[in-house]
Structure 1
Amino acid sequence: MPEYAKAVTIVEPYRLEVQEYAIPPLQPGGLLMQVEMSGICGTGKHTYRGETTQYAGTVNEQTSPFPLIPGHENVGIVAEVTPGTVDFYGEPLRVGDRITMCPDVVCGKCYNCRHIFGYSWCENWRGYGNSFRATEMPLMGGWAEYMVIIPEAFVYKVPDGLAPELAVYTEIMACTYALDKAKEFSSLASEGFLSGDSVLIQGVGPLGLCHLIKARMMGAGTIIAVDTSSYRLQMARDFGADYTLDVSATSEDERVQLVHDWTRGRGVDLAIECVGYPEAVPEALRMIRRGGMYILEGVFVDMGDIPLNPHLIVSKGLRLVGLSNHPFTGYRPSMELMLRYQDTMPLDRFVTHRFPLEQAQQAIDTALGLECMKVVFEPGAQA
């Protein structure tokens, strides 16, 4: 095994360096993963810009430290494993297994771990690619040749037949459990999100597109995609959106009117915020029908306050649900879902750009632009 590994490191906001780190000894129950692909997530882009406050107002509030190795959407091969190491379901792990992993590290002992099982609200939460200073715990993010997987982390075997290009966005697909939660409740009627219901998705980057894919799989009716990128709106149409709205080419009033025109004057049954900016919230409230639901998932990083008229919520009887993560149990079902649909939906188009570690600046610049979907690092690729 190599003694050192290269990793893309955010040294400070707007400054990337490819640095070399000594691979530390593995803890009992841990393993070393050779990274095949690691995605550039919205959180990573926020961190690059210095927008680093997460879980604000909770016991988990933290500011990501620098220097940091980002990367929490990962797939790779087990390169070294300690005796007795198992995956999330207790199945033995062996060298050569293809795996993905949950980036959330939890203690299993605090109030939230004991009372909200399977969800990462741990009071002692740490996150791969978010929480570990590279000079203290190196190789704890996926923008690297190798990742150190500690015993507390949850690891999942990738099913045979599921390519790395799909497995790399398992974590994002796991976040679409928001749609499963939407099925459980409604503010007025006894049922929640149903087959045939209309869905509006604000922001169809990787997170939003995964929600669009999942909504279509679940039998949604009219799907409306909203974004500023014509590239992403075309992708949304290719993946099943019935209508698209370009924010850069329309006014808010025009968009609200069009949404009502497309939903028989009522507004959408369900809206999902995946754009990451709070300014999108008041507009969505105008687009949702009476008794409808709004799920906010994209504003994971604290981006500040906005003016909001609560009367819109009260007068419509809306249900607002904030979701900041995903259940640990959602990984295998998400991979099995992709495996089932990979021949009937163009899931292999999700990853649009690949870069070796040495082209880190080009990779992040591409991800920050509007002419891409999922940008990934491919550490084994040649520069």
Structure 2
Amino acid sequence: MTMHTVARLTDTDVLVKPSPVAMVWNEPGRPLEALAVPGVHLCAGEALVEVELATVCGSDVHTVLGHRPAPTPLVLGHEQVGRVVALGPGAVRADGSPLELGDRVVWSVTVSCGECDRCARGLTQKCRRLAKYGHERVHRGWELSGGFATHVQLRAGTATVRVDEDLPATVAAPASCATATAVAAVDAASARVDLEDAVVLVTGGGMIGLSSAVIAAEAGAVVIVSEPDAARRAFARRLGVHTVDPRARAGTPDRLGTVLAALADDGEPPREVLVGIEASGSAAGVRTVVSTVATGGVAVLVGSVSGGTELCVDPESIVRRLLTITGVHNYTASHLEQAVAFLERSWRILPLDEMVGPTHALAMLDLALEEAASGEHIRVGVAPGRRVTG
């Protein structure tokens, strides 16, 4: 593992040896390139974090494959855990307490100003002057702007949350995107429906879907995950939730109707789905949750972050069912704090660490992205301190 030393040149300028390295993406099909950044200028409220582990999010894959526009050159990555190695004046955690050297932290995808009309309304993730880790064009002064690097420069307005030393990095890293977004999705559902004993259908057994499932289950919901991949359904059952196969024939055990009937008490009609959380991003998943949720229920759309999916809605059905359809994109600081708290009390009970498959050195990021794109693994890890072997 590479050992980095940090020397403070002034109150705001630090020199790191060996130089921090970020992997820069330019265009689909072109290998990523290493960019060395020897000196970092930390403004008020900023911090420099050495990355322990990053994980490859689905949006990273979509960008690399050219499925969504992105400014280039770009340092991807926004799910990671790391340790604070340098601080600018006045840097604070999400709860307002001072950030300290040595803090092991995760941080929000978004950087918010805290002053605009949207921030005042609590929509910090949609700030008028929003910046996002892993989504911004590399420019002088903020080269270390994504998680696929040895270090990340945290800007003022970033929600930074300290994590326990014993929390596995494979569990902590996804909190910065998938877990916090799942908390936001369940929060949006619970604002409309009491989750205690309510049937929640989650479409998509990826990181956000499975995280939403276990968070809803902890809240007392009866959770069903709809996922075509048999291995992911098996893993979901290990997390303590029910599963269905959206491709199963009517009347078979893996069919939603069969499971809803089995959940009912003897002589009672099948249970109804009161919450649908759509985490697959597929048109079929969207249609399923909107058409399946029962009267007075809520459909939470969280997976549709790429264009091209159109939804035909019968407004009469929406009106007569008193149906709420809401969208969730990213999350607030409170959601990230809740995500960390959930992980810290759950990781010893649930096999959350197994959601991250192979982990590669930073220099092998192209391979990590390729493996993530295969869909074989829920998440693939990238460890900047890991040496390249073989």
Match of residue 73 from structure 1: 79
TM-score, L = length of structure 2: 0.85
Q: Does 1:86 align with 2:86?
A: no
Q: What pairs up with 1:320-339 in 2 under 5 angstroms?
A: 320-339=325-344
For 1:57, the equivalent position in structure 2 comes to none
1:202 to partner: Cα distance: 0.7
* Greater displacement, 357-366 / 257-266: 257-266
CA distance in 2, matches of 1:137, 1:274: 32
> What residue in structure 2 maps to residue 207 of structure 1?
208
1:51 aligns with 2:57: no
- Report the secondary structure of 2:126's partner residue: coil
Equivalent position to 1:183, from 190, 197, 200 = 190
Deviations 1:121-143 (A, max 9, x none): 21121111112335773110001
Q: What is the deviation of 1:215?
A: 1.2
Provide the secondary structure at the position in 2 that maps to 1:67: coil
**Residue matched to 1:272:** 277
> Corresponding residue for 2:368?
363
Select 1:285's aligned residue among 287, 290, 304: 290
Counterpart AA for 1:86: V
Secondary structure of 1:212's counterpart equals helix
Change (3 A) 1:343 1:3: closer
- Answer yes or no: is 1:240 the counterpart of 2:256: no
Q: SS at the partner of 1:47? A: helix
- Aligned to 1:330, what secondary structure does the other structure show? helix
Q: How many residues align?
A: 364
Calculate the aligned-residue CA RMSD, in Å. Answer: 2.5
SS state at 2:297 partner? strand
Query: 1:188 is matched with which residue?
Result: none
Give secondary structure in 2 for the equivalent of 1:4: coil
* Percent identity of equivalent pairs: 27
Are the structure 2 counterparts of residues 180 and 143 from structure 1 closer, same or farther at C-alpha, using a change threshold of 3 Å? same
Task: Give the superposition deviation at 1:3.
Answer: 5.8
Q: Indicate how the Cα distance of structure 1 residues 359 and 151 shifts in structure 2: closer, same or farther if over 3 A, else same.
A: same
1:28–1:119 distance in 2 versus 1, CA, 3 Å: closer
Q: Please tell me the residue identity of whatever aligns with 1:184.
A: A
Matches within 5 A, 1:367-382: 367-382=372-387
Deviations 1:164-207 (A, max 9, x none): 2221122322222322232222xxxxxx2331111111111000
Aligned match of 1:117: 122
Residue in structure 2 matched with residue 27 of structure 1 by the alignment: 43
Tell me, which stretches of 5 or more residues in structure 1 are unaligned? 53-62, 186-191
Matched, 1:348 2:353: yes
SS at match of 2:231: helix
CA distance in 2, matches of 1:240, 1:8: 38
Cα 1:134–1:363 shift into 2, 3 Å? farther
State yes or no: 1:101 paired with 2:107: yes
Tell me the CA shift for residue 35 of structure 1: 0.5
Query: Does the C-alpha gap of structure 1 residues 90 and 284 become closer, same or farther in structure 2, counting only changes over 3 Å?
Result: closer
One-letter code aligned to 1:336: A
Structure 1 counterpart SS, 2:318: helix
Deviation at 1:294, TM superposition (A): 0.7
- For 1:73 and 1:139, the matched residues in 2 are separated by 14
Please list every run of 5 or more consecutive structure 2 residues that lacks an aligned counterpart in the other structure: 1-15, 264-268
Residue 359 of structure 1 and its aligned partner are, at CA, apart by: 1.8
SS in structure 2 opposite 1:169? helix
Task: Provide, for residues 154-173 of structure 1, a one-character-per-residue CA deviation record: whole Å limited to 9, x for no partner.
Answer: 22211343232221122322
Mapped partners of 2:24, 2:140: distance in 1 = 10
Map 1:91-170 → 2, pairs under 5 A: 91-114=97-120, 116-117=121-122, 119-133=124-138, 137-170=142-175
